[in-house]
Chains A and B, each alone.
Chain A
Amino acid sequence: MTDKGNLLEVRGLTKCYKGDVKALDNVSIDVRRGEFVTIIGASGAGKSTLLRCINRLIEPTTGTVAFDGREMTTLGKHDLRLARQRISMIFQHYNLVYRMTAIENVLHGRLGYKSTLAGALGLYSEDEKALAFKVLDQVGLSDFAYTRTDQLSGGQKQRVGIARALVQEPLLMLCDEPIASLDPKSSRTVMERLRWVADELNIACLVNLHQVDFALEFSDRIIGLAKGKKVFEGTPDEVNEEVVHEVYGDIDIEGLPGDRMVPTIVQADVAGGTAGASSTGVA
């Protein structure tokens, strides 16, 4: 636990989609154990691709990803499965199986540890069930264990997503726009939970965010992506108007640096979906 060495070392990561379109261009980042790192950037800047290249939901074109001393990019199918045990992920749209109860969804986090048959049939051990109830309690949803997840509110759904991630006993949590679909109050609850995860459980969090204000408030370190390239890296204190301009392009920003009141203009981008970097001039 005291080891503050790098948990994750990404070097020269590049992802090309068909032809020359580079979603990621030579990106290198480090994440220490228990560190809270936020990636900001416009839609289409490559934030989601970056996260998915780390656990290889997307295969990177070139570059290396060392996680907990193990090179991810060359792992075979079996070893990749083992490596994914310790990397969990939460999503903008929660990605729960809505026909199932909260506790069943949480236990899905254990599938990577189980034999194919035991996992498929949902034969979880007593310890695993106890752990599932514990993490559900940690996110404040112990009363909803047997509630079908389509009955829950957005914030509750995301907290089930966090519980599913925690039950993996991960070293790293990848969070892909965890609050982009939530109202401000639920957003704050979720961000506070994630910060707690990093501080108390010493689980590193790598978080994609649209909301610069939340990034400034919660992060240890902030990385700015624009058009697949890393254009900024530093502490929240180092983020100023110039940085935001570089990351998001031409938009009106008031109150930066100083009082840290970044207007929510960047959130308009959320609705833009995959519209690409060009959709940043929303103001």
Chain B
Amino acid sequence: MAARKLAPLGPNGGAEDSLAKTNAFFRKKTLVLFAMVVAFFVINGVSGAFVEFDFVSAAVDVPAGIVWMLSEFAPSASSLEYLDSIMPALGSTILASVASSCIAAVFSFILAVLGSRSVGIGGPMALIVRAIASIFRNIPVVAWALVLLFSFKQSEFTGFLALFLTSFGYLTRCFLETIDEMSTGPIEALRATGATYFQIVVQAVIPMSVTSVISWVLYMIETNIRDATLVGILTGTGIGFVFDVYYKSFRYDVAGLTLVTIVIVVIACETLSNYIRRRIM
């Protein structure tokens, strides 16, 4: 295994030749880049003209738009009085998000264990579980809310159910991946001791997957608080409804305050879940 003597990488004596080659190479690069920039502006101009989008006037309008938005939506001193009506709605939205994520997690985990390729019950179950997860996950939460409105009317429960169903699909998918990535060794070892299926799930599968399950549930709660605002507008509940009401009654300052509270909650939730994740990992 002695180090082999390396052969020279190229034919010697071609220094001038290779210099010319290098120059040609970089000239070509510059030309290609230039052509790409020109093409970008041409395509942009043509398609912009087609939809009557004028980049220049848009660029001029944007600062004015932002100024208008800031001045109208900035929470005013008088809007603070409305905090009393915002906070309960915010609270119910947070609780609905937490509840929908946690309850979905329970069902998802059971389904994911049964349907996983490594510890599942086998047969067609793996396919069935994946199909269920895929259906619930790929219907957007807004579509669920609109569909469920017919059956359950404008209520907290409709919003909860819409969040629950999407969370359920999403978490099932995540848990399936988590469980299938797990090492199957301990499961085999417990099987060899004579442990039953349920014992194996509780004593090995859950301990091995619990941290990433918690991590996914925290992520789901964050997502659901964001989505709950949109769902609330549709189902007439929670913080989304509050925002909608003030927005439509031209109290933009109060609507703005509502937005600020939502942003604060989402950031707080993200910080908290990052902290928890660091602690458990």
Q: What residues make up the interface of A, taking CB atoms closer than 8 Å to B?
A: 55, 57, 80-85, 87-89, 91, 93-100, 108-114, 116-117, 119-122, 161, 164, 168, 174
Give A189 to B256 CA distance when docked, in angstroms: 70
With both beta carbons as reference points, the residue of chain A lying nearest to B195 in the complex is identified as A111
* B interface, over-half SS: helix
Give A270 to B202 CA distance when docked, in angstroms: 33
Is A81 a contact partner of B208 (Cβ separation < 8 A)? no
State whether the Cβ of B54 lies closer than 8 Å to any Cβ in chain A.
Answer: no
Is B202 a contact partner of A120 (Cβ separation < 8 A)? yes
Residue among B183, B192, B196 making CB contact with A119, cutoff 8 Å: B196
Is B196 a contact partner of A168 (Cβ separation < 8 A)? no
Give A91 to B188 CA distance when docked, in angstroms: 10
21 A-B interface contacts by CB (under 8 A)? A57-B192, A84-B194, A87-B192, A93-B183, A94-B185, A95-B185, A95-B189, A97-B204, A97-B208, A98-B208, A99-B207, A99-B208, A99-B211, A108-B189, A108-B195, A109-B193, A110-B193, A117-B198, A120-B199, A122-B203, A161-B189
CB distance from B137 to the nearest CB of A (A): 28
Is B193 a contact partner of A168 (Cβ separation < 8 A)? yes
Residue among A85, A99, A122, A164 making CB contact with B194, cutoff 8 Å: A85
Give A83 to B194 CA distance when docked, in angstroms: 8
Is B188 a contact partner of A57 (Cβ separation < 8 A)? yes
Is A89 a contact partner of B192 (Cβ separation < 8 A)? yes
State whether the Cβ of B210 lies closer than 8 Å to any Cβ in chain A.
Answer: yes
Is B194 a contact partner of A112 (Cβ separation < 8 A)? yes
State whether the Cβ of B186 lies closer than 8 Å to any Cβ in chain A.
Answer: yes
Residue among B191, B202, B203 making CB contact with A57, cutoff 8 Å: B191
Given A95-B188, A99-B210, A120-B198, 10 more contacts at CB 8 Å?
A: A93-B185, A95-B185, A95-B189, A96-B186, A100-B207, A108-B193, A111-B199, A113-B194, A119-B203, A121-B202
- Residue among B183, B193, B203 with most chain A CB within 10 A: B193
B contact residues, total (Cβ < 8 Å): 22
Give A89 to B192 CA distance when docked, in angstroms: 7
Give A264 to B159 CA distance when docked, in angstroms: 66
Is A116 a contact partner of B199 (Cβ separation < 8 A)? yes
With both beta carbons as reference points, the residue of chain B lying nearest to A107 in the complex is identified as B203
Give A81 to B190 CA distance when docked, in angstroms: 11
Residue among B186, B188, B194, B203 making CB contact with A120, cutoff 8 Å: B203
Q: Cβ of A82: which chain B residues have Cβ within 8 Å of it?
A: 194
With both beta carbons as reference points, the residue of chain B lying nearest to A121 in the complex is identified as B202
- Residue among B183, B194, B208 with most chain A CB within 10 A: B194
Residue among B193, B208, B210 making CB contact with A111, cutoff 8 Å: B193
How does the 8 Å CB contact mask read for B161-188 relative to A, with 1 for contact and 0 for none?
A: 0000000000000000000000101101
With both beta carbons as reference points, the residue of chain B lying nearest to A118 in the complex is identified as B199
Is A95 a contact partner of B202 (Cβ separation < 8 A)? no
Give A98 to B204 CA distance when docked, in angstroms: 9
Q: Cβ of A161: which chain B residues have Cβ within 8 Å of it?
A: 189
Is B193 a contact partner of A116 (Cβ separation < 8 A)? no
Give A174 to B192 CA distance when docked, in angstroms: 10
Give A246 to B194 CA distance when docked, in angstroms: 37
Q: Cβ of A100: which chain B residues have Cβ within 8 Å of it?
A: 207
Is A55 a contact partner of B199 (Cβ separation < 8 A)? no
Q: Cβ of A85: which chain B residues have Cβ within 8 Å of it?
A: 193-194
With both beta carbons as reference points, the residue of chain B lying nearest to A96 in the complex is identified as B186
Q: Which 4 A-B pairs have the closest CB atoms?
A: A112-B194, A95-B185, A84-B194, A111-B195
Is A97 a contact partner of B203 (Cβ separation < 8 A)? yes
Give A197 to B198 CA distance when docked, in angstroms: 31
Is B203 a contact partner of A95 (Cβ separation < 8 A)? no
CB distance from B1 to the nearest CB of A (A): 13
With both beta carbons as reference points, the residue of chain A lying nearest to B196 in the complex is identified as A116
Q: Cβ of B183: which chain A residues have Cβ within 8 Å of it?
A: 93, 95
How does the 8 Å CB contact mask read for B133-176 relative to A, with 1 for contact and 0 for none?
A: 00000000000000000000000000000000000000000000
Is A108 a contact partner of B196 (Cβ separation < 8 A)? no
Q: Cβ of A95: which chain B residues have Cβ within 8 Å of it?
A: 183, 185-186, 188-189
Give A93 to B202 CA distance when docked, in angstroms: 21
Is B203 a contact partner of A91 (Cβ separation < 8 A)? no
CB distance from A103 to the nearest CB of B (A): 13
With both beta carbons as reference points, the residue of chain B lying nearest to A161 in the complex is identified as B189
Question: Known: A99-B208, A120-B199. Contact between A112 and B186, CB under 8 A?
Answer: no
Question: Known: A95-B186, A99-B210. Contact between A112 and B198, CB under 8 A?
Answer: no
